[in-house]
Amino acid sequence: MNKLILLFLLFAFQFSKAEENANINYVDVNQNAFTIPLSETGGNYLNAYNLTVLDLAQSLSEVYKNGERNKPYPLSNFLTATKVFYTPDNSQMMIIEPQYANSKKRCILLTNGNGEDFSWSQTNRMAIDFALRGYVVAYYENAGSNAKRYDGKGNTSNFYTSRVINQVSAIIPKDKFFATMYINLFLSNAARKFVVDNSQKLSVDTTKFFMVGGSLGANASLFFTYADENNFKHQLFNQIKKKLNYNQPFNNNGIVAVVAYGGGLPGPKEGLGDIIDNQDKTPAFYFSGALDWVVNPNKTTILGPENWGPLALKDLYDANQINYNIYINAYGTHVFQTPSYNQTWGSLPLMRTADTQNGRVSSSRVGAYAKANLVKLLMYQYENTQMYEAAKMATTYFNQAVNNTLPKSSVTYVEPKCIQNTIFYQYSIDKLSITDAAMCFTKNPNDKKINRQLDKITTTCMDGTFRPYSKPVTDKTIVPNNFMAPGKGLVKLVNFLEVLNKMNGK
């Protein structure tokens, strides 16, 4: 058994051990909660972590698809998941609760990227990771969710598009984006209210909320954190409020910090006014990819309005004396990570097809699974290790925010120790421009520029941990503003949701 998992690794990581006891510090993963223990991975921490996250994220998906509402389901001996309605029109939320004795647990309000559906996608894995670190996670669907409605009549995105967006004066792409932002604002407000109303039952400290999201979810998290009356003057706000008929007052009290993976906000001159202003003091942590052409770390108009990423927003944070940390992966794409060589790992089957108990997966099952899915697991581990590293940075920042020990605002460039994907390795050795690398990744005709002689170098490159970026940072380190914007090549779509769906398929 251990030989198979040692093959799965191919290299050694040196990590400090997670907490062995129930003393939750909200930064370290609870190693005792692993469903694949270290004894099954030759003592390798990251193997056990990544397989556990895979297992629990898949189990979470099964609870969403097949579980009854308002019924807690044990995912493991440490986590339970409960599916609930959190809005008047029955939008759905998964509440993941870590089981340890504390009547005042911190809570992360987490929402999906566009096109996700409570499958074991990136947000599912984020939800599990944060819960393993001790947070109650309220993982709620927004207007970009492709999750099926509870009544089986279409999905959430179609529901809000037909019921709201198509019924208000959102004609041009910019206003469609604003309409979606406002819907998500009301949904985020409803998610917070649901947790507050059930805080005693959930053992949640309502003074310690943290907003987290990726892509569209990052935009929703940022907007809920920073929006105020100044931003509610746009005509779409009242139109959408009337269509939704959500009556609870707007309230973002208790938000301690916000984390955005591949997210930004419309610029001040785009019609919503100053979203970040001197009324705001909530600190922010950003994760961005230098090759992210959907949410450029600087600016882009691909979503309709001029969208500002963290490097563009930096001056607003400085002017309003709001603390921030910005981490940019020099070889990252949308939502921060550097992609693995082979993206087919997303089709990994369930780990528990033969093991249905809510505890540790049997040794024989783990061994057979690793043997049957070795290559896909290698690709998965490369990317999920980057998520692990980002989550630890984010939760460290959360602790600093709670303890009023935040570091000075900063921008940091990092890179994976090993560039597994041939396109980005070729770019890293200056054999491919950043523009061509981004174009090749989207499978444009420029993929003919990929040097396949380099494949043998990158397919055996497994270390996804981060280190400081090894080259000077210049204006060419970030993909150009408005790269592949409508009318400039690849993307000629009028609906920004289609743009994001296209990217999420990569």
Q: What percentage of residues in the chain have a pLDDT greater than 90?
A: 78
Q: What percentage of residues in the chain have a pLDDT greater than 70?
A: 90
| Distance between CA atoms of residues 266 and 271, nearest Å | 8
**pLDDT score of 364:** 87
Sheet holding 136-140, edge to edge: 73-74, 79-85, 92-98, 136-140, 105-111, 204-214, 255-261, 284-289, 324-329, 410-416, 466-468
| pLDDT at residue 8 tops 60 | no
| pLDDT at residue 427 tops 90 | yes
**pLDDT score of 488:** 46
**pLDDT score of 358:** 65
- Rounded to a whole number of angstroms, the CA Rg of the chain reads 22
Domain borders along the chain are 2-420+459-504
| Distance between CA atoms of residues 293 and 298, nearest Å | 10
Judging by beta carbons within 10 Å of its beta carbon (0-12, 13-18, 19+), is residue 6 exposed, middle or buried?
middle
**pLDDT score of 448:** 86
| pLDDT at residue 452 tops 50 | yes
**pLDDT score of 34:** 94
Question: For 263-275, how does the pLDDT look when each residue is reduced to its tens digit (9 = 90+)?
Answer: 999 999 999 999 9
Calculate mean pLDDT across residues 31-46: 92
**pLDDT score of 356:** 60
- 3-state DSSP helix/strand/coil % of the chain, to nearest 5: 40, 15, 45
| pLDDT at residue 347 tops 50 | yes
Question: For 135-167, how does the pLDDT look when each residue is reduced to its tens digit (9 = 90+)?
Answer: 999 999 999 999 999 988 899 999 999 999 999
Confidence of residue 490 (pLDDT cuts 50, 70, 90): very low
**Among 325, 321, 241, 313, CA closest to 280:** 321
Whether the model pTM is above 0.95: no
Query: Which of the following CATH numbers is that of domain 2-420+459-504: 3.40.47.10, 2.40.50.100, 3.40.50.1820, 3.30.830.10?
Result: 3.40.50.1820
Q: Which residue has the higher pLDDT, 343 or 403?
A: 403
Calculate mean pLDDT across residues 107-128: 95
| 3-state SS assignment for residue 458 | helix
Q: Which residues 6+ apart lie within 8 Å of 315 measured at CB?
A: none
Question: For 220-248, how does the pLDDT look when each residue is reduced to its tens digit (9 = 90+)?
Answer: 999 999 999 999 999 999 999 999 999 88
Question: For 289-339, how does the pLDDT look when each residue is reduced to its tens digit (9 = 90+)?
Answer: 999 989 999 999 988 899 999 999 999 999 999 999 999 999 999 999 999
